[in-house]
Chains A and B, each alone.
Chain A
Amino acid sequence: MAGYSPNSTAKTFSFRVIMWMFSLMTVFPFGLLLLTSIKSKEDLFKGAFVLPAYPHFENYVSAWVDGHFGIYFWNSIIVVIPVVAVSIVLGVLTGFAFAFLSFPFKKLTFVVLTIGMMVPTEAFIIPLYYEMRYLGLINSYWAMILPQIAMSVPFATIFMASAMEQLPKDILEAAMLDGASRTLILRRVVIPLLKPAVSTLGLFLFIWTWNEFLIPLILVNDDVYRTMPLGMLFFQGRYTVNTPVLTAGAVLVILPIVVVYLIFQRKFIEGLTAGASK
């Protein structure tokens, strides 16, 4: 875009203003959140937009210890890691089958998997609750891990299958002619070639599982198993008046996701838009 006329410079300027206005609108709540999380209760009465005399980081300590966010944090980790790891393994295996292998009812199975992607969790949460109760898993990590793996299988499968279909056929043929077994080809040829796809998948699964609300809300009601978003809800119930500690808790919940997002944001947005435009 060479040679701005004065008119177009003015236009670009006003465009810029609109653009940054919307960006400010987006980050404003998070800014306020950070600001409030380092205030004392007294600072709060001076107004929402007033800076505190000095930062009160003790709010974070009381959120972590008294607010049980320390427990919630570890619970989230304990749930997220197996869900992401197992879902990736299952996604690679089933995706491999859908991309390269033949088995009975392949088309039907695919349709059934896509149904699982569309039906909201809300629609089957009641039977799931009773199934978990029947299995004696209510109030355990399993109650959150197993259903979330199952819910991740359709997306992981379809994502990996479409990535594998794009692999150059001759590489696989060459490996097969060399007499390598299928598991060896999967481990030594397919997965190394698909590293970017696997990490994108892992990123999505991490964020979805970290953010999941309904599954732990219904299937877990003991505080020692609550994950971060759930802990936040119950913390809000207990400490309604203590806004600084509440906001410190909120920062603790979203901080890990923001960090992951900022590190991988290019990858994340590319993956999302590639998936979305399919």
Chain B
Amino acid sequence: MKASVLDAPVRKNLIFVLPGLIIYAAFVLLPILAAIYLSLTKWNGISAPDFVGFGNYIELFSDSRFFISLRNNAVLMIFYCVVPLAIGIVLAAIVSSIRAKEQLAIRTLLFMPYIMPSAVLGIIWHWLYNPAFGPINQGLKLMGLGAIALPWLGDFTFALPAVGMVAAWYYFGFCMVIFLTGLQRIDPSLFEAARVDGAKPWYIFYRITLPLFLPEIRVVLLLTIIASIKSFDLIFTMTRGGPANATLVPNIYMYELGFHLNRFGYAASVAIIGAILIFVVNYIVHRFVRPADGRAR
């Protein structure tokens, strides 16, 4: 059976497929499979890996630092997902009621952080947060709020929220842009009709806007939750997991275990758990956050 008019015998088709697949297999697929194998071994990077079965995973269960990193990741999810989603949806509603030119300007500005290298943004915020000469604390002192000019990234309580705020700042414009396109898809007469019927704004938002936005909410949730599990660059450049594990997340822990402590097998098991978490999140969001008519995959 031919796939299309352009189809030909397999031998001739393979010329198109193989170059991409070979390089993908060599530098992505093979390392992924090797990582799965490594996670079942103890390996210091020099001698031959020592197969230990699920030993690393069992050890993870009683590793308090691993649990700290998971808990921190859960807290960060609020800043990666919930805050940008809420701000994004409200801003989209506001921005959509504004003239097209101004709307374009706002969209361009708010989207800006999303295209930037997060490692460099981390370094910039590291400077902004600097306790002594950082602009944030200088600003606070100028406003007479010197009492709350804390060493943000060095403070055990505030380091995690401070890092989280940067993530929220990074993602809210992105969320807004996604919702803004969603609004263009939605028929404005729906809102009009509800307004004419005398529905309260909150009711309109809850009963019309939210359900209609479900596809966008799904995309935003998926991307931001995955980003939070993947978070490395921002935290690495701002705190490296410190102070005293306050901002430790699985990927930072993995980096430390592997490239500082030479426990490559154990590090790989942390990385694999992260990948599994991403698959689980993907499944959950696809399964449970879906439009009422069930059309979307």
Contacts and interface: CB of A to CB of B under 8 A. Distances in A.
Contacts of A214: 232-233
B181 interface: yes
Contact of B35 (A32, A123, A218, A262): A123
Nearest to B275: A123
Range of interface residues on chain A?
Answer: 35 or more
Chain A interface mostly: helix
Nearest to A23: B109
Contacts of A257: 115-117
A213 B118 contact: yes
A201 interface: no
B35 A97 contact: no
A273 B180 CA distance: 10
A112 B29 CA distance: 8
Interface string B116-157: 111110011111100001110011001000000000000000
A236 interface: yes
A173 interface: yes
Interface string A153-165: 1101100000000
B177 A269 contact: yes
Interface stretch (B3-11, B55-63, B74-82, B202-210): B3-11
Nearest to B255: A122
A101 B30 contact: no
Interface string A24-48: 0111011011000000000010011
Contacts of B133: 44, 48, 243
A90 interface: yes
B1 interface: yes
A19 B32 contact: no
A169 B119 CA distance: 45
Contacts of A122: 230, 232, 251, 254-255, 271, 274
A159 B142 CA distance: 50
B6 A277 contact: no
B98 A22 contact: no
Contacts of B3: 100-102
A261 B30 contact: no
B230 A120 contact: yes
Nearest to B107: A269
A27 B138 contact: no
B20 A126 contact: no
A96 B19 CA distance: 13
Contacts of A22: 87, 91, 110, 172
Interface in A174-198: 176, 182, 185
7 tightest CB-CB pairs across the interface, nearest first? Answer: A150-B27, A127-B34, A211-B117, A124-B31, A48-B135, A94-B20, A90-B20
Interface of B: 1-8, 10, 13-14, 16-17, 19-21, 23-24, 26-32, 34-35, 38, 45, 87, 91, 94-95, 97-98, 106-113, 115-120, 123-128, 133-135, 138-139, 142, 169, 172-173, 177-178, 181-182, 215-216, 219, 223, 226, 229-230, 232-233, 236-237, 251, 254-255, 258-259, 264, 267-268, 271-272, 274-275, 278-279, 282
Given A118-B275, A261-B115, 6 more contacts: A12-B97, A32-B128, A154-B28, A229-B117, A254-B116, A272-B177
21 contacts: A27-B109, A32-B135, A49-B139, A90-B20, A101-B17, A116-B24, A116-B28, A116-B29, A119-B28, A119-B278, A120-B274, A122-B255, A124-B32, A124-B34, A126-B35, A128-B27, A150-B24, A169-B4, A211-B115, A254-B116, A273-B181
